[in-house]
Amino acid sequence: CGVVDNRSCPDTNANELVRRADMALYRAKEAGRNRTESWANLSRDPSAISEEEGQEIVDLREKLADISTQAKDAFIQSIGGLVKALDARDPYTKQHSENTMRYAVSIAEALGLADEEVAVIRRAAVIHDLGKIGVRDSVLLCPGKLTPQELRAMQQHPVIAGRILDQMRFLERELPIVRHHHERWDGQGYPDGLSGPAIPLGARILAVADSFDAITSTRVYRDAKSAPEALRILADNAGTQFDQTVVEAMLQWADSVHRHIGRDKPLLPSDLLDVQQECALGV
């Protein structure tokens, strides 16, 4: 057991406290089982932790971080496979989660978010419809307009996903994005009626990406709209349903793709998806 008493060093920042705790833990483990070591004892002995040992601790933390990331990615891939199976139950929603993920990543990148934030949004997008596992097929695959009761059941899917993911501490940043991706900027969304900046940024991004894919996909009750039509719908609802800044990022990204393929050609959803995949592969 490694011990650091921050009462004796109230001005020490959190990173330094973590470093000291790591060093105390390292020394306690090295000394054997059932051993407690404190930073206070180590700090009185300048030779207790050498530079080499300090570097070993840093290296160990980096390796553990890599393992944690790999485990998280492996878990997301497993859950993503389940979500793909859910998508495949309805031929009209096939590839929806994959498409939504690609759009969301591109919007996040267009907003200039850090790589780590983009990665969180990517993972959340892959599993955003996980909660539909708890929605009856008669509701999920309903060919017509949902009754008020059926609509309420459908609107529970972000809550169901939240319950599934709630005990998974390593997804604590993805969970709010999944739970709140159907909130609206004006507060009229669900499940919690959040509004404006109170909605997590990742959820606001996912809402735009999710809607764009839904609008440009054929449904049993309507035909798919073109990419330009879908972009106009997003723009018309910016500031009410959607965060205007996020919509503008989507519009700017789509315009850059249109320039890339040539403005003499119509912009297709597949163009946006293909360009995003090329960027992801470093092509």
Which candidate in 84, 132, 145, 265 is catalytic? 132
| Cα–Cα dist 217/100, whole Å | 11
| Cα–Cα dist 205/242, whole Å | 9
Q: Is 84 a catalytic residue?
A: no
Q: What residues act catalytically?
A: 132
